[in-house]
Each structure stands twice: as C-alpha cells, then as structure tokens.
Amino acid sequence: DADVTQTPRNRITKTGKRIMLECSQTKGHDRMYWYRQDPGLGLRLIYYSFDVKDINKGEISDGYSVSRQAQAKFSLSLESAIPNQTALYFCATSLRVADTQYFGPGTRLTVL
C-alpha cells in the first residue's frame, strides 16, 4: 500500500550534535513537507518542497535545513541540535497545492 515512512521513529541526542531525519514516500506525490508539533502549540511548518529543484522555508525554518534527494525522499537536518528542538516531527505529502496532506508516523526527537 502506498505510504509515507519516517526514520528514525525515536531519537535521543545531545546538544550540539548533527541530526538527520528522513522521509520516504511511495505515493508518487511531488509535494513534501516537514512539520514539528509541540504540546500546546499545534503543528507548525518548517520547510516544504514542490520538487527536487524547489525548496521553500515555512513558518519556523531557523535552525533547520532540508534536502530533497529525489521525488520520493525529503530529509530534515538539525546542524547543531538544541533542547528547544525537542518535539514530534512529521513529514507529509500532497498531490497538489492546497490539497489533502498525508502524514508519516512521526519521529520523536529529544535533545538533552
């Protein structure tokens, strides 16, 4: 079945470490997104990509970078992790702009 997968599912790291979260999809969608979710703050958009040549900042891109390696793969990096980046991170895909987004299972990241 077509799906959105994320690795790792859980990660504990230390302040200052570089971390990469990976997202893969088999839905054939061009559009991919990274969100973070914090208790009481809801889901917030970090970056999004229309295709491998297009990367766009979202609401909270500071401290993050992304790479769109292929249509099916979109990675999120924290170059130097800090404790306030502790959150639940979701990747999502959609077929068209302003269309339904389909979410991966999430990565729970803890920065000590």
Partner 1 sequence: QKEVEQNSGPLSVPEGAIASLNCTYSDRGSQSFFWYRQYSGKSPELIMSIYSNGDKEDGRFTAQLNKASQYVSLLIRDSQPSDSATYLCAGNSGGGADGLTFGKGTHLIIQP
Interface contacts to partner 1, rule CB under 8 A: 31, 33, 40-45, 48, 50, 56, 58-59, 88, 90, 97-106, 108
Q: Using CA atoms, how far apart are residues 24 and 110, in angstroms rounded to an integer?
A: 22
Torsion sign over Cα 108, 5, 28, 67: positive
Instruction: Kindly state the smallest distance separating residue 18's Cβ from partner 1, in Å.
Output: 25
Residue nearer to partner 1 on the CB measure, 11 or 108 = 108
DSSP-assigned letter for residue 27: S
Amino acid in position 66: V
Instruction: Kindly state the smallest distance separating residue 16's Cβ from partner 1, in Å.
Output: 27
Token pair for 63 = 């401290």
Taking alpha carbons only, the member of 12, 9, 3, 13 closest to residue 22 is 9
Residue nearer to partner 1 on the CB measure, 16 or 35 = 35
Residue nearer to partner 1 on the CB measure, 59 or 79 = 59
Residue nearer to partner 1 on the CB measure, 17 or 100 = 100
